[in-house]
Structure 1
Amino acid sequence: MTFKTSHLHKAILGGTAATAMAVALASAPALAIVPNNNQTPTQIIDNAGGVNGVGMFFRNDGFVCTGTLINPRTVLFAAHCVNDRLATDYSSIDGTVPAAFSFNVDARPGFQNWAANAFRSNSALNVFNISQIQYDPRSLLNPQALGFLEADIALATLDTPAARIPTWALLFSPLPTPTTIDPVRGTGYHVTITGYGRSGNGTAGATQGVDFRRRAAENMLGALASLDDRNDFLFGPAAPGTPPLGQNLYNLDFDDPRRGTAGANQFDINIHRDDALPGEGTTAGGDSGGPLILTASRNTLSTKNLQIGVLSGGSRFFGPQAFSSYGTTSFYQPLYLFWDYIAATNPYRYVTAAAGNGNWEDASRWVTTLDPNYNIINASGQVVNGIPTGLGQGIAGGDPDFGQVCIQGLGLNECRDLATRRDFTPPARTADGAAVVSGIGRADLNGQLSGGAEQVSLNTTVGT
C-alpha cells in the first residue's frame, strides 16, 4: 500500500515521539490472547470457561488457529488458516493434510491422542477429526487483500458429532450504530476475545509461544469500518490506482491503562477512541478464526452471548512497535456480511416432518427448519431467531460505519467520527508507504518423516 506523507508521519519525524521513526503500518493475520500488564498469561487461561465450544484448530503440518462450534458437526473459523491449499487437501478420505479441532482448555492432550491413533476422533478427550473443509473463495479474489483481509470465512465439518459440547449463537445483523461515542467506553459495546495462540504482555507483545491453552480477555469494540476508512484518516488518501480495501471489519485497539500518565506506552495513540478496561487484552498468532463475542452480561442488546465476527488479523503502526502490544489493533470479519455463505455452506440441517402421513424415505416429506443458532435484530431492536431478508453484501459491504479513529498522542489530539465523517480538528495530512506482513500462528510440533510415515510430537511449546 502506498500513502502520501501524513500528519502522523510529520509528527513523528518532528521529534514528538520518543523514538523518531518513520511510520510503518503493518497488518498480519491474527496473529492466545495477550493481556495488559495488570495480568499474566497464566492468569488469563480460560479455566472458568471449561469446554465451551471454542476450540483449537491443528493442521498436521503444524499450523494452528481457533474456531467456534456452531452445531454438533460444524466449526466456524478463518479462511486464511487453510486457503494456502486446496480445500480437498483436508479431506479425511483422500486429503494430504489431516486436521482436527480440540475443545478442552488445554488442547494438547486431545491432539496427542488424535495424532497417535491414526487421526481418529476421541469424544472423551473432546478432539474431533475434520472430514471436510470449505472456505469462501472470495478470500483469494483480491490480491491486495492477501488472503485474510476480505471474506476470511471457513467452515470445518467434523467426522464425529461433538454432541456434548455447547454451540454458539451467531448474529447475522450489523450492530446498531451508537448514538454517541463516549471517550471512556467508546462505542459502548463490550466484547470478549478468546483463542489458543501466543501470549505475552502489553509492553513487549506476543513474546510467549503457543502452549495449546485457551485464554480470554475483554475489550471494547472500537469501530465498524474498513481499513480504507482508517487509513484515510491516519495517512491520507491512497495513491491513485491503489486497489481498495473497502470491506467493513469489526475493529478494536489495545489500550495502555497508563495512557496520559508518566510511563505510558508511547505507541498507544488511541486508534479507536476508548479507555483501557481492567482485564483488557488483544489477539496474537494462533488466535485467527476465533470469535468476537458480544458479552451478554455487559450489553443490553441480548441476554445471550453472541458471536458477531471471526478474527482475521491485527495492525501495528510504528517500526519498533511489537505486534500485539499497546497501541496495536485487531480486526474481525463481520458475520452479517457473509451470513448467506455460512448458511449455504453449513452442512448441518435441522428438519421436521411435513404435516400428514408419508413414507420415511420420501424426501418431500421433510422440511428444513430455521437453525436455532441464527439470529437477527428485528425492527423493534430485539435479537430473535431468524435470517436477514437480503443476501449478505460480502466483500462489497462498506456500510454502516461507526466508531472513531484517532491520533491522541505525539503532540496531537485529532479524531474522525466514522458515522458522520466529521473530523474533530481537520488535519492536513501527508505520509508514506506501508509494509505489510503476513503469516498465521504456527506451533512447532517437531514433525518428522520416517519410512513414509509421519511422526508428530506434541510435547514442545514454541511458535512463530
Structure 2
Amino acid sequence: MHMKSIKAPLLAATSSVMLAMAMTASADAIPFRDDVGDEGAQQFAQGWDGVVQIYLWNRVSGQITFNCTGSMINARTVISAAHCFDAYPEQVYADGPGSLTPIIAYGPDTFVPLFNWINTGQQFVDDLNGLSFGVDLMMHPDSEVNGVNTFPAADVAMIALSNPLYTLPTYGMLFSPIPEDVFNEGVLVNQIGYGTFHPGSDSSIGSINGRRRAGENMLGLLASQSDFFQALAGEGAGSPVPSDNQLLYWTDFDLPGRTGTCTRANLGPTGEDSIFCDDNVPGDGVRLDGDTVVLPGPSIDYFPGDALPNEVATGGGDSGGPLMAMNLFNNPLILGVLSGGFVDGFFHSSGQSYGEVSYYNPLFTYHQWISENNPYKYVSAMAGDGLWSDGDHWVQGLDPNYFVYNEDGEIVNGLPDGDEGGLGQRRPIEGIVFDTPVADTDTGDNPAGTGAGIGGGLVNFAANGVVATLPEGLRDGAAGSAWAAPEAATAQTVSGLIQTLTGPGYTGFVPSNYYGRPNAPAFEDPAQFFDVTLAAAGTTTFDLDFAEIDNLTLAGGDARLVINEDTDLTSLIGVNVIAGELEVNGGLLTRELMLWTGMLSGSGIVSLFDLNAFVGNGQILDGALFNVGGVVTAGAVGQTGSLTIQGDYIQTSGGVLGVDWSADGADLLVVNGDVSLGGLIAVNPLDGYVPTYGDTRRILSFAGERVGEFDGDNLPGVLYLATTYGAGFVNVTVEAESFSTQAQFQNGAQSGIAARLDNAREGSYDALSNLYAPIDLLSGEDLTSAFENLVPHEHYQLRRASEAHLELFANQMRDVALGQGRAEASGQAMAAGFTAQLMGGDQTARLDDASLAIAADQAAGGPNIQDQGNGWRLFGAAGATDGELDTTNVSSSELEGSYGFVGFDYQTRNWLRVGATLGYANSEAESLLVGGGQARSDVDTLQVGVFALAQQGGLTAMLSASHAGHTADSDRTAVVGGASFRTTGGQDGHTNAVTGALAYDLSPVEDALKLTPIVSATWSETRFDAGEQSGSVASMTVDPSEYVELVGRVGLAASTQFRLGAAVLEPRLYAGIAADARGSDEAVIASLNAASGPIVIDPVNTEDNDWSEFSLGVTAHLDSGLAVAISYDSLNDRRGVLDTETLSVGARFRF
C-alpha cells in the first residue's frame, strides 16, 4: 500500500494534527465537468452579477494581487471569508495612502474594469462592469484568538465600499440552519467564484483570469470537520479543539458516470476499518487514525448522490464565495461563505478534482456579528413630527436581506432570537459521510478524540498571485471621504467593544453617511451608511447644513419630509416616493428620483446626477426625475412658486403636474434638462379664484429637448387646458368644450339653454361671465341640475295653473247641464210623488218649496239652482283646490288655490234657458328644483261666459262660450354650482273657449236612481304675451306664444234622492274621461336678456293626451226653499302634467 510520505508516528491517534500540517500545498482550481467545459461554467455564471472578485492593492508597492470572491448583501457591503485578509490586522485595510486597499471588481470578466481603471482612472465601465474600493474591513473576532488563526472557524468578513453599487443585485442570507426534513429532501445549491479553473480530470492546467464561473451541486453535509473525520474513522478521529468542531456546510464533486467502486475494507492490522476505491492511484490516500485509511479514487463519493449536469467544485480564489440555496425560497439565499477544501492526493486523487469536498462557514452561526457590524443601516423615522438632527427621532430597522425559518417552517424576513452560536455551536448536524450518518457519532457530546486539532493546516481557497503593478504616480490614491463620526448611543457587542447601530430597535443616532476612520483599530469608528425610510405618520424636518445618505424612501401616506431652505441633503442611490410628501425648499442631490405616488413640492432645487460616475469616472451624467404616478407641484401646496429640476423630467401617463393657480400667476416647474411629457395637468385654484375661460399661464420651462405632450388636465366641467408647446416652454390656456360633452341632458329645455350658452361664449362671454364662471365647472348630474334651474319654469307654472282654473269652471258648467236635465224631467215628477205621500193627497197637488228644491236637481258639488217661478235662476259655488303640476319631465310644483263661480239664467221658452257666468280663481305654484333652486308663481284667472240650455224629454243640450284672462307674478332662484341667481317678472295671457254638451237621462221618472251619460267638446285657444324677467344674468324673456286644444269628454252621472227630516238629500256621483284631440306643442322660444339669440325651450313632458275626472257630492234641499251642497272633484293626470283635487260648497236662494 502506497501513501503520501507520512512518518510512522502519524499513524497513531494524533495523526490528524500532522495530516492538517501536511495540507499546505495549493488547493485545486475551480473544477468543472469535462463535458461542460470552461465556456459552460462561464455561461452558467451569467446572472450572478452580485458575486464579485476581490483584489488587494498595496498602496506602497503599487502591486495588485488576486485575493478572493465575495457577495453583495447590500449596495455598500461585500461578505467574504476572514482568511482572505487575516495576514494583516483590520486597520491595515483602508482606502488611503499607505494602506492595503481591497478592490471590489464585478462583471463576467473583472480584468475589463480593472485594467480600464489602471489605464484611464475610471472605475465604471457600465452598470454590470466596474469596481469600487474597500474603505473599512471587519473580520469576526473569533477568526483569530490570542493572535492565533483559528481557520476555518469564524471565517467571515465584511467589506464596506467607497461607492454604493446600486446597479448590482444583492442577496439574502439565511440565518437559520436548514431543517432536517428539508435537508433530507435535498437542497440544490449554486457555487460561484472567480478562482482558478480547470476540467475535473486535470488540475495541472488551472489559472486565474478574472472570469466568473459557476455550477451546481447538492448540499451534502452540515457538520464540523471533527464530525466529518469521525463519520469516516470513528470517534477516535475527533478533536476537542473548538475550531475543529465548528459547524460547516459541505459539498462534494461527483465524477459523472463513475464506474469505480469505493467500499469499506480491511487493509490489515492498521487499516481494519478503511475505505478503498478500486480506481485509487498508488500513493494517494490518508490515514485518519490507528485503524482507518482512506485510499480515494475519482469515484469516491463522500455524500450521497450523483453528479448534476453542471456540477462543480471550488478552488483557489473562490474563498469567500457564496453557497447559494436555490430551492428553499423565492430568491437565492446565501447559506455560507467558502472557506476551503483538502489538498489533492489526500481525500481525493491527485492531479484531478473529482471526489474533492468544499466546506463553507454557515452564516447562521454568526448572525449576531453580521447584524451588529453590517455597515449598511436601514433606519426609519418614528411617528410624529421631529427634526432630522434629533437622534431620538430615529430607530434602526430590520435588514430586508436577513431571513430565518419561523415556527411554521416558512422562510421569513427576520433575525433569530438570542445570541449567535458562533464558534461553540455544535448542532444541528445533518447528512451522511460515505456510509455513516454523521449523527451516529457525537463529537459535540463526546469530545474524546485525542487529536490535537486539524484546522491549522487546512487549505483555504484564497489566491495571492500578482495581477499588475501600478505606476508610481498611482500608488497612493486619494483617501476616501471621512466626515466626522456621528454621535450615537452605544451597546455591548460580539466584538466585546461598545458599538453603535447594532441592530433592529437601536436608537439615538442621526442618519449621515460615515466612511470610517482610516487605519482605526478593528470596530472603532467603523464606516456606516444609511438607507432611510419615512413610513410613520408625521413630518420630519431636515435641519442640518449638510448630510449624505445612500437611499431615501417615503412610504407612508401621512409621512412627510421637509428640506429646509439653506440646507442640503444628498441621497447617493436615489429617492423613492411611494407615498407621502417630499417638500424641497433647500437642496436635494440624488441620482434618480422616482415618484411612484405621493407628492413632490417645494421651492428649492432638485439636482439629479450620478455621483458614482462623477466620483469614479469624473463624468457628469444627468439623472432624472420620474413622475410615474404622483404629483409634482412647484412651491408649497396652496401657494404659487417655482421648483427647479437640475436634470431631466419624465412624466408618464400616470403622473400629474400640479399647478396652483391664482389671479396673479401660477406654479412654474423649471427643468434644466430634457423633458418627456405625458399624464395630466392638475389645476388647484387658490384664494377662491377659479380658472376662467381665456386665462393663460406658463407652467413649465425647460433647457433641453421635449418629447411627448401632456395627456389632459383635471379642469372641471367643460373647461380644459389648451396647451401650447414652444421652444423651451409650455403655456396653457383655459378653453371650453360644448356642454353636451359633459352631461346627458334630460329634456329639450336643458339642451336648448346649453346650446345657446355654447354659441354665446365667443361674443357674449363678458356679459354672461358671472353665469359661465360656476356653470363651466360642472359636469354630469350637477350640470344637468344647473340647466334645469335655468329653465323658465314660471311660464309652465302659469300655463298649468291657468288650465287648472279653466277646468274648475268647466266642472261647474257640466253640472249646470246635468242639473237642467233632471229638473225638467224626472225631477219634477219625483217631487210631486214625494209631496203626495207626505200630504196624503194625490199626485196633482201643488209642488211645495221642498219639491221645487228637489226639482232643481243640483249636481253633486255643483251650483244649487233655483227656479224662481218667474223664469230666473241663480246659482253659485266656491272651493279650495290643491294639486301637483309638472313644469318639465324632471321638475314639478305644488299647486294651492281657491275659486269662486256664480251664474244666472232665464227661461225664455219651456225648453230653452239662457244665462251668463262669472268665475275667478287664484293659485300659487311652487317648485323645489334639483340642485337647490326654486320657482314660484302667483296666477289669477278671471272668466266671463254665456250659455244656452235646451231640453226636450230626457235630452239636454248646452252651448257655452267664455273668455278668460290670466295674470302671473313669478320669482325664481336658479342655483348653479353653488351660485344663486334670482329673477322676477310676470306674464299675461287669455283663453277663448267654446263648449258644446249633450246629456241624456236614461232612467224612468219614477226611479229613485238616475243615470245620465254626458258628452262634450271644447275648443279653446290660449295666447300668452311675452314673459319678461329681470334681476340677474340668468334672467330670460319668453316670447309670445299660443296653443289650441280640442278636448272631448265622455262621462256618466248617477244620483238618487231621499227625504231626511225637513230636507231631501241628493247624493251625486260623476266619472268621466277626456282627451285632447290636437295635442299640444309645449315648446316656446326664449332668450337670455344678457345675450340675444333664440333658445328653444321644450320641456318634453309627456305625449299623453288623455286623463280622467271624478266628482262626488251631496245636496240638501230644505223645505224652506234653501239648498246647499258640498262636493269633492279630482282631475287625474291631465295630459300627464296636472293633477288637482278640489273641495267645493254651493248655495242657492230665491228672490
TM-score by length of 2: 0.34
Whole-angstrom distance in 2 between the partners of 1:68 and 1:314: 20
Structure 1 residue 374: Cα displacement: 0.6
Question: Does the C-alpha gap of structure 1 residues 231 and 38 become closer, same or farther in structure 2, counting only changes over 3 Å?
Answer: same
Asked if the contact 1:252/1:331 (under 8 Å) is kept, the reply is yes
Whole-angstrom distance in 2 between the partners of 1:310 and 1:245: 17
Q: How does 1:172-211 map to 2 (within 5 A)?
A: 172-178=175-181, 188-205=186-203, 207-211=205-209
Please state whether the residue corresponding to 1:131 is helix, strand or coil.
strand
Structure 1 residue 148: Cα displacement: 3.2
Asked if the contact 2:219/2:251 (under 8 Å) is kept, the reply is yes
Corresponding letter in the other structure for 2:218 = M
Structure 1 residue 81: Cα displacement: 0.8
Asked if the contact 2:227/2:438 (under 8 Å) is kept, the reply is yes
1:152 to 155, 159, 166: 155
Question: Does the C-alpha gap of structure 1 residues 29 and 368 become closer, same or farther in structure 2, counting only changes over 3 Å?
Answer: farther
Please state whether the residue corresponding to 2:439 is helix, strand or coil.
coil
* Residue matched to 1:341: 369
What CA deviation, in whole Å up to 9, does each residue of 1:434-458 have, x standing for no partner?
A: 8745562133324377699589xxx
Bigger CA drift: 84-93 or 190-199? 84-93
Matched, 1:442 2:467: no
1:219 to 217, 220, 225: 217
Q: How does 1:246-395 map to 2 (within 5 A)?
A: 246-261=245-260, 266-295=297-326, 299=327, 301-316=328-343, 318-319=345-346, 321-322=349-350, 325-395=353-423
Whole-angstrom distance in 2 between the partners of 1:398 and 1:194: 27
Question: Does the C-alpha gap of structure 1 residues 317 and 421 become closer, same or farther in structure 2, counting only changes over 3 Å?
Answer: farther
* Residue matched to 2:674: none
Asked if the contact 1:316/1:329 (under 8 Å) is kept, the reply is no
Question: Does the C-alpha gap of structure 1 residues 24 and 148 become closer, same or farther in structure 2, counting only changes over 3 Å?
Answer: closer
Structure 1 residue 42: Cα displacement: 2.0
Corresponding letter in the other structure for 2:330 = T
Question: Does the C-alpha gap of structure 1 residues 156 and 238 become closer, same or farther in structure 2, counting only changes over 3 Å?
Answer: same
Matched, 1:41 2:38: yes
Whole-angstrom distance in 2 between the partners of 1:355 and 1:324: 62
Corresponding letter in the other structure for 2:88 = R
Show structure 2 runs of 5+ residues with no match: 1-5, 58-63, 262-277, 281-296, 443-449, 478-1151
Matched, 1:419 2:439: yes
* Residue matched to 2:229: 231
What CA deviation, in whole Å up to 9, does each residue of 1:129-175 have, x standing for no partner?
A: 1111111121122888x553110101011111111111101110001
Structure 1 residue 347: Cα displacement: 1.1
Question: Does the C-alpha gap of structure 1 residues 352 and 198 become closer, same or farther in structure 2, counting only changes over 3 Å?
Answer: same
2:131 to 127, 134, 150: 127
Please state whether the residue corresponding to 2:116 is helix, strand or coil.
helix
Whole-angstrom distance in 2 between the partners of 1:166 and 1:390: 30
Question: Does the C-alpha gap of structure 1 residues 255 and 116 become closer, same or farther in structure 2, counting only changes over 3 Å?
Answer: same
Asked if the contact 1:178/1:402 (under 8 Å) is kept, the reply is no
Q: Percent identity over the alignment? A: 34
Structure 1 residue 3: Cα displacement: 6.7
Structure 1 residue 235: Cα displacement: 3.8
Asked if the contact 2:243/2:423 (under 8 Å) is kept, the reply is no
Please state whether the residue corresponding to 1:106 is helix, strand or coil.
coil
Bigger CA drift: 395-404 or 238-247? 238-247
Whole-angstrom distance in 2 between the partners of 1:402 and 1:33: 25
TM-score by length of 1: 0.80
Show structure 1 runs of 5+ residues with no match: 10-21, 182-186, 407-414, 423-429, 456-464
Whole-angstrom distance in 1 between the partners of 2:120 and 2:465: 20
Bigger CA drift: 262-271 or 277-286? 262-271
Asked if the contact 1:291/1:311 (under 8 Å) is kept, the reply is yes
Asked if the contact 2:53/2:104 (under 8 Å) is kept, the reply is yes
Asked if the contact 2:319/2:461 (under 8 Å) is kept, the reply is no
* Residue matched to 1:12: none
Question: Does the C-alpha gap of structure 1 residues 238 and 70 become closer, same or farther in structure 2, counting only changes over 3 Å?
Answer: same
The CA RMSD over aligned residues, in Å, is 3.6
Whole-angstrom distance in 1 between the partners of 2:373 and 2:425: 20
Asked if the contact 1:51/1:103 (under 8 Å) is kept, the reply is no
Whole-angstrom distance in 1 between the partners of 2:237 and 2:50: 41
Q: How does 1:95-114 map to 2 (within 5 A)?
A: 95-114=98-117
Whole-angstrom distance in 2 between the partners of 1:222 and 1:239: 20
Whole-angstrom distance in 2 between the partners of 1:400 and 1:358: 47
Asked if the contact 1:30/1:311 (under 8 Å) is kept, the reply is no
Please state whether the residue corresponding to 2:115 is helix, strand or coil.
helix
Asked if the contact 1:27/1:313 (under 8 Å) is kept, the reply is no
Whole-angstrom distance in 2 between the partners of 1:23 and 1:419: 24
Asked if the contact 2:188/2:219 (under 8 Å) is kept, the reply is yes
Whole-angstrom distance in 2 between the partners of 1:88 and 1:119: 26
* Residue matched to 2:76: 73
Corresponding letter in the other structure for 1:278 = P
Question: Does the C-alpha gap of structure 1 residues 257 and 27 become closer, same or farther in structure 2, counting only changes over 3 Å?
Answer: farther
Whole-angstrom distance in 2 between the partners of 1:174 and 1:246: 16
Q: Which has the higher contact order (CA 8 A, sep 6+)?
A: 1
Whole-angstrom distance in 2 between the partners of 1:245 and 1:335: 17
Corresponding letter in the other structure for 2:246 = Q
Query: Which structure has the highest strand share of the two?
Result: 2
Please state whether the residue corresponding to 2:192 is helix, strand or coil.
strand
Please state whether the residue corresponding to 2:222 is helix, strand or coil.
strand
Structure 1 residue 332: Cα displacement: 0.3
Asked if the contact 2:193/2:321 (under 8 Å) is kept, the reply is yes
Whole-angstrom distance in 2 between the partners of 1:416 and 1:51: 35
Structure 1 residue 46: Cα displacement: 4.0
Whole-angstrom distance in 2 between the partners of 1:271 and 1:24: 22
Whole-angstrom distance in 2 between the partners of 1:142 and 1:246: 18
* Residue matched to 2:978: none
Asked if the contact 1:33/1:217 (under 8 Å) is kept, the reply is no
Choose 1 or 2 for highest CA Rg: 2
Whole-angstrom distance in 1 between the partners of 2:313 and 2:464: 18
* Residue matched to 1:93: 96
Structure 1 residue 254: Cα displacement: 0.7
Question: Does the C-alpha gap of structure 1 residues 275 and 223 become closer, same or farther in structure 2, counting only changes over 3 Å?
Answer: same
Asked if the contact 1:105/1:214 (under 8 Å) is kept, the reply is yes
Question: Does the C-alpha gap of structure 1 residues 171 and 32 become closer, same or farther in structure 2, counting only changes over 3 Å?
Answer: farther
Corresponding letter in the other structure for 1:443 = G
Whole-angstrom distance in 2 between the partners of 1:375 and 1:28: 37
Structure 1 residue 58: Cα displacement: 0.6
Corresponding letter in the other structure for 1:382 = E
Question: Does the C-alpha gap of structure 1 residues 270 and 420 become closer, same or farther in structure 2, counting only changes over 3 Å?
Answer: same
Whole-angstrom distance in 2 between the partners of 1:3 and 1:57: 38
What CA deviation, in whole Å up to 9, does each residue of 1:282-311 have, x standing for no partner?
A: 00110100000001xxx2x32221111100
Question: Does the C-alpha gap of structure 1 residues 147 and 275 become closer, same or farther in structure 2, counting only changes over 3 Å?
Answer: same
Corresponding letter in the other structure for 1:362 = D
Structure 1 residue 242: Cα displacement: 6.3
Structure 1 residue 321: Cα displacement: 2.7
Whole-angstrom distance in 1 between the partners of 2:238 and 2:337: 30
Whole-angstrom distance in 1 between the partners of 2:279 and 2:250: 22
Structure 1 residue 93: Cα displacement: 3.2
Asked if the contact 1:315/1:323 (under 8 Å) is kept, the reply is no
Please state whether the residue corresponding to 2:403 is helix, strand or coil.
strand
Whole-angstrom distance in 2 between the partners of 1:420 and 1:316: 27
